[in-house]
Structure 1
Amino acid sequence: MPPDPLGFAVDRGLGVAGVDEVGRGALCGPVVAAAVILPPGENRDLQGAGLRDSKQLSPRQRQGLVGHIRSVAWDCQLGLASVAEIDRLNILQASLLAMHRAIAKLQPVPQWCWIDGNQLIPGLSLPQRAIIQGDRHCLAIAAASVVAKVWRDDLMVRLDSRYPGYGIAQHKGYGTAQHRSALQRLGVSPCHRRSFAPCRSQQLPLL
């Protein structure tokens, strides 16, 4: 068994990857996962730098932490599932697929994977453990949440320039009142998830 992840004090020298995803509840854009292997001895330093669940950090704090995480991690990889895959598979399966893709890129191969949430990743050949609210309890998962969040937010800013009028740079694809109003006015864009209820009844805009 791996060491108990419930607490940021864990440091046993195991090759443990923390895995998390972002964008699961958004109405547009891909779901993005990150997998991070932190070396022994970095827990206290990263805690001192303020690392915790990305949802508890401001955009500026996340931007400041992501370079630190990448500089000390043994490896840090991203995996994506596209809008088409989300619509075809459903968001849960697409999220697990994105996590699988991130883990598959890791070098060295971790001995364990700690997965945020309550679902194990299908077809993963490595030992894994699902941890509810893992981004609050496991430093490697918290690191993965920050890396994934920063990368996806940057992507959504780029998508805003490609599909203007929806306010994607502000809400990052989530279903705010501004976003829902824009959907009613403009219809859905190619980056919207047609399987999601707020997008399902909307028409593609004229190009």
Structure 2
Amino acid sequence: MRLRKSLPREAYTLGWNPPGLVAGVDEAGRGPLAGPVLAAAVMLDPRKPIAGLRDSKKLSPKRREHLHEQILEHALCCSVALASVEEIERLNILQATLLAMQRAVAGLRLRPTQVLVDGNRLPALDLPAQAVVQGDDRVAAIAAASIVAKVQRDRLCDAWHAQYPDYGFDRHKGYGTAAHLEALQRCGPTPLHRRGFAPVAALLAPASPP
């Protein structure tokens, strides 16, 4: 207990791998101009390995959907959480992403022994944690979290398309493609758009006097 009390608020790293259950954590939606950022935490069952897990960006949508269902069926537990557009505006995208990750870990039905997070930054956790650069291609549990977060966010984008059909959310998923920027210019931002992001902020800025 003395060790735990002496640790800073940020999650801490161990120089060894403790035995027990590992949770992998990854996010989806840091880069888009619209919508919340999502994070997933997944604890795989070592008795039920899932073949083909890798970085979600390197998988076709069909393959992602298939693996997503396999993960939900065979993982010990899985949790998805988000940080809202309002929180992204208030905190900045990095801190909002870490908040979503923290919420995803907190939502797990089982308590992991260690948390492995994709990237080089850690959310504040009361568990041993390790940041793993390119972890979504190196650690199966992180790859699984990458897939779950991506599929869940893409499904949100499909729902946004039904609500705002002029913007093409079902195609660009909120990223700043030429088609998305053209729709923004033509129709203006929706409540989903991140007003602090430069392309959106530029549309909201008052015009300079001639």
Q: Same fold (TM over 0.5)?
A: yes
> Aligned match of 2:106 in 91, 99, 104?
104
CA distance in 2, matches of 1:82, 1:202: 21
- In the alignment, what sits opposite 2:22? 16
Give the distance between the partners of 1:81 and 1:163, measured in 2 at CA.
21
Q: Distance in 1 between matches of 2:197 and 2:86?
A: 12
TM-score (norm 1): 0.88
What residue is the counterpart of 1:31 in the other structure?
37
SS of residue in 1 equivalent to 2:62:
helix
Q: How many angstroms apart in 1 are the aligned matches of 2:54 and 2:122? A: 22
Alignment-derived partner of residue 135 in structure 1:
136
| 2:161 corresponds to 1:160 | yes
- TM-superposed CA distance for 1:13, in Å, is 6.2
| 2:98 is the alignment partner of 1:85 | no
CA distance in 2, matches of 1:55, 1:25: 13
What number of residue pairs does the alignment pair up? 191
Q: Does 1:42 align with 2:44?
A: no
What is the DSSP-based 3-state SS (H/G/I as helix, E as strand, rest coil) of the residue aligned with 1:125?
A: coil
Paired with 1:99 and 1:120, the residues of 2 have a C-alpha distance of 9
Q: Name structure 1 gaps, 5 residues minimum.
A: 4-11
Residue equivalent to 1:9? none
Structure 2 gaps of 5+ residues are: 1-13, 206-210
| Structural RMSD (CA) | 1.5
* Native 8 Å contact 1:13 1:40 kept in 2: no
Q: Percent identity?
A: 54
- 1:146-203 deviation line (CA, Å, top 9, x unaligned): 0111110000110111122111110000010100111111111000000100101224
Runs of 4 or more, structure 1, over 4 Å off, are none
Contact 1:18–1:114 (CA under 8 A) maintained in structure 2 = yes
Give the Cα–Cα distance (whole angstroms) in 1 for the partners of residues 48 and 116 of structure 2: 17
Equivalent in the alignment of 1:7: none
